[in-house]
Amino acid sequence: MLNDETNNSSGINTCDNDVTNCFSNNRTIYDRDDTYSHSTESKNINDKNINDKNNIDININIYRYKFTEDFTEELFKFSKIHQYDHRKDFKEAWNNWIEENDDIVSVEIRRLTNVGYTGDILDKMFKSARYYFRKKSTEKKAPSARRIYVGVQKDLLDAMDEHIKYNINDKNYKPSEGFDKFCKDNVDLLEEENNILRKNGFTDSSEIHKKINKTYKNRYFLIISK
């Protein structure tokens, strides 16, 4: 519903506690010399740099320790051929495959060793074939159909712009509270928008509310960025 107090049937709920969290970062931060020192700032910067470097190193290592695309393709083929083998039969077929493909296996082992991998590479290959690729589906999922974008009517956008510009200079104005007041002041316009959206495939009241709320916030940011 547009508002619990109005008891209308539009299905839009004006209560939006989540929005206020998005703007909590707009609070003024005051410097406090008695609790903050240059050494603390330097330590925080150093800690951040160390964390960033560690994250980069982890990401690089994860990428470097993956099998090459060509080797992965061969490993995948083997896994699917022996997909339904019992463990003993799978292991026997694996040992044969390792011997028959010694050239590409040796190349992959040398490559992973050279980039710093210290684990058991043959074991890594076997586990990938047995527990990952063997169970991986070859069926490609059809892309989910995306709903055609439906914009809100211009009259609603104009009303939002006017409301934001009128209230934006109020030091107590917050977009979350502004949206609640906008809904209370524009019940008829929102009911009309609600009906239009429902005709265009929107059936969930909360979805309609989120769309209109998001539109209001977008108009707010457009106005303050000019």
CB neighbour list of residue 11: distance below 8 Å, 6 or more residues apart: 1, 194, 205, 208, 209
pLDDT at 7: 42
Across the chain, which has 226 residues, the per-10-residue mean pLDDT values are 42 42 37 44 51 46 73 90 89 93 93 90 92 72 65 91 92 89 92 91 89 91 83
Taking the CA atoms of residue 76, residue 80, residue 82 and residue 86 in that order, the dihedral angle to the nearest 10 degrees is: 100
CA 219 – CA 50 distance, rounded (Å): 39
**CA–CA distance, 223 with 226 (Å, rounded to integer):** 6
- pLDDT at position 44 is 52
Distance of CA 88 to the CA centre of its chain: 42
Tell me how far apart the alpha carbons of residues 77 and 105 are, in angstroms, rounded to a whole number.
14
- pTM of the shown model: 0.39
